A and B are shown apart, each in its own frame.
Chain A
Amino acid sequence: MIRFVYADQLTELPKLRETMHMDRAWQFKTRLKWDVAVDKDGWESDAYDALNPLYVIWQLPDGAHGGSMRLLPTTSNTMVNDHFLHLTDGVRIESPKIWECTRFCLGPRATPQTAAALMLAGGEVLQGFGLTSFVGVFDARMVRIYKRIGASPEVLGSQGKGRDAISVGLWGFDAAAQARVARQAGLGPQIVRHWFNRAFGHVMRQAA
């Protein structure tokens, strides 16, 4: 199931928290060979985890992490504005209606449906809070995954070539994209909305 949890709430779910940071170390350090910090306990985390982000997490039946992504509002510090302005034509993307989505992670036990379920949950966040888009940094190898689940970002700019390319992209979410991703996830939008409501209460639906 999908959990929507702020970092300070995640401390009450120690298994989920631990396996998320360990899966992130496995994906970003071991597999993708990004220059990220992994501590002595094998956890990957960075300065943005310290800003109480909202995590969207696919939780496996045994309570462990299956996949996740991390959301932060662009009115405060974000990776894109702090480090990747050269990929956005110098535009500081900053608005309470645009959030940053980073550390999209699929753990070793993720199935093809996991990525789609996370995207569907991201769409629920966009709709539920009346946001216009997510902006995010991603690796060339994620392009294939995003494409397969029917949620390809729009690339604003890239640096590097081939497998080493890093890009900044945008995700919007219209009804057609939602239907596509829901098919891939094998989930109805109603169940995702149920999880969302459980986390936030019954949110008034706002027009974007």
Chain B
Amino acid sequence: MERSREQFIEALEQVSTLEDMQDCSEELRDLLNVAHVVYHWVSSKGEQYGCGTYDTAWVDRYLEQDYLRVDPVISGCYARFHPTDWKQLDWSSKGARAFFKEALEYGVGNQGYSIPMRGPNGQFALFSVNASCDDDTWAEFQTQNHHDLILISHVFNQKALEFEGLADKGPTKGLSPREIDAMSLLAVGYSRAQVAQNLSISEHTLRVYIESARFKLGALNTTHAVARAMQQGYIVV
């Protein structure tokens, strides 16, 4: 049986090897019903690290041809931090067009959406989803999934940072007392307006605290965040 996205994220957070992360990328591809998902970390020295569902023949070809230097997804997203539809990238050069044509031959879809990520100390990683469909279908897919994909991409990155021993650990990563208060009041059923009033903050400030806590907890929405805060022992109701 297919797991829900919430269950998927929880499973991804439990993995301890790159091979398990690889399995997760395959599961995510099926959950999203797309052609491919790829998580890709490019260090400042050009070293590559990650996982994904591309055909190994394509990965080998990519590395062998050093396509990192040609791929508009890399040049257009490197050191950026805004999500990008592949159509927004510059595919006009001869090299880029040949690269795209070849990628299609290896089973890469014609549509893509990439989320560049910025981790501690300027770390750069890229998460991409790829599919074969028309423009309208792809636009609709992005509208439906953009929010979840941003969170999921960061869970992949957090895992990779952890494997490399670069993840922030300890108190900086945990929830602050203020966030715990907000989560606790939501957990006992207070409305946002009541929580804000209780904490003497505005609803906008509360929204930012919840958003920040949601990200730190790896949760897709507020309900999920409250559940995870309980699960992880931050709050006791």
What is the interface of chain A, defined by CB distance below 8 A to chain B? 6, 8, 51-52, 54, 72-77, 89-98, 129-130, 132-133, 135, 154, 156, 170, 172, 200-204, 206-207
Partner of B176, one of A73, A90, A200, A204: A90
- The answer to whether A76 and B147 touch across the interface, beta carbons within 8 angstroms, is no
Q: Give the docked Cα–Cα distance between A90 and B82 (Å).
A: 27
What is the interface of chain B, defined by CB distance below 8 A to chain A? 79-85, 87-89, 117-123, 139, 142-143, 146-147, 150-151, 154, 172, 176-179, 202, 204-205, 207-209, 211-212, 214-216
Q: Give the docked Cα–Cα distance between A89 and B83 (Å).
A: 30
B53 to nearest A CB, angstroms?
Answer: 23
- The answer to whether B176 and A133 touch across the interface, beta carbons within 8 angstroms, is no
- Name 14 extra pairs, CB < 8 A, besides A132-B211, A204-B146: A6-B80, A52-B122, A72-B118, A77-B122, A89-B177, A95-B212, A95-B214, A96-B150, A133-B211, A154-B202, A172-B207, A200-B82, A204-B85, A204-B142
- The answer to whether B178 and A92 touch across the interface, beta carbons within 8 angstroms, is no
List, in ascending order, chain B residues with CB within 8 A of A6's CB. Answer: 79-80
- The answer to whether B178 and A202 touch across the interface, beta carbons within 8 angstroms, is no
List, in ascending order, chain B residues with CB within 8 A of A98's CB. Answer: 208, 211-212
Name the residue of chain B whose CB is nearest to the CB of A52: B79
- The answer to whether A207 and B143 touch across the interface, beta carbons within 8 angstroms, is yes
Q: Give the docked Cα–Cα distance between A138 and B130 (Å).
A: 41
Q: 21 A–B contact pairs at CB < 8 A?
A: A6-B79, A6-B80, A75-B117, A76-B120, A76-B122, A76-B123, A89-B176, A90-B177, A91-B176, A91-B178, A91-B209, A93-B208, A94-B216, A132-B208, A132-B211, A133-B207, A133-B208, A172-B207, A201-B85, A204-B143, A206-B146
- The answer to whether B142 and A51 touch across the interface, beta carbons within 8 angstroms, is no
- The answer to whether A97 and B211 touch across the interface, beta carbons within 8 angstroms, is yes
- The answer to whether A96 and B82 touch across the interface, beta carbons within 8 angstroms, is no
- The answer to whether B205 and A156 touch across the interface, beta carbons within 8 angstroms, is yes
- The answer to whether B172 and A92 touch across the interface, beta carbons within 8 angstroms, is yes
B221 to nearest A CB, angstroms?
Answer: 12
A118 to nearest B CB, angstroms?
Answer: 18
The answer to whether A73 and B205 touch (CB under 8 A), given A93-B212, A132-B211, is: no
List, in ascending order, chain B residues with CB within 8 A of A132's CB. Answer: 207-208, 211
Majority secondary structure of chain A interface residues (helix, strand, loop or mixed): loop
- The answer to whether B202 and A204 touch across the interface, beta carbons within 8 angstroms, is no
User: Most chain-B Cβ atoms within 10 A of its Cβ — which of A89, A154, A206?
Assistant: A89
List, in ascending order, chain B residues with CB within 8 A of A96's CB. Answer: 117, 150-151, 154, 215
Name the residue of chain A whose CB is nearest to the CB of B216: A94
List, in ascending order, chain A residues with CB within 8 A of B208's CB. Answer: 93, 98, 132-133, 135, 170
Q: Give the docked Cα–Cα distance between A200 and B119 (Å).
A: 22
- The answer to whether A130 and B209 touch across the interface, beta carbons within 8 angstroms, is no
List, in ascending order, chain B residues with CB within 8 A of A72's CB. Answer: 81, 118
- The answer to whether A202 and B88 touch across the interface, beta carbons within 8 angstroms, is yes
- The answer to whether A204 and B139 touch across the interface, beta carbons within 8 angstroms, is yes
The answer to whether A170 and B205 touch (CB under 8 A), given A89-B176, A90-B178, is: yes
- The answer to whether B212 and A91 touch across the interface, beta carbons within 8 angstroms, is yes
- The answer to whether A95 and B205 touch across the interface, beta carbons within 8 angstroms, is no
Partner of B143, one of A73, A77, A206: A206
Q: Give the docked Cα–Cα distance between A203 and B151 (Å).
A: 19
A119 to nearest B CB, angstroms?
Answer: 16
- The answer to whether A77 and B121 touch across the interface, beta carbons within 8 angstroms, is yes
- The answer to whether A76 and B121 touch across the interface, beta carbons within 8 angstroms, is yes
A68 to nearest B CB, angstroms?
Answer: 18
Q: Give the docked Cα–Cα distance between A132 and B151 (Å).
A: 14
Q: Give the docked Cα–Cα distance between A114 and B179 (Å).
A: 36
Q: Give the docked Cα–Cα distance between A52 and B81 (Å).
A: 10
Name the residue of chain B whose CB is nearest to the CB of A74: B212
Top-5 shortest CB links A-B: A201-B88, A95-B215, A76-B118, A89-B178, A90-B176
B34 to nearest A CB, angstroms?
Answer: 16
Q: Give the docked Cα–Cα distance between A39 and B215 (Å).
A: 38
List, in ascending order, chain B residues with CB within 8 A of A74's CB. Answer: 212
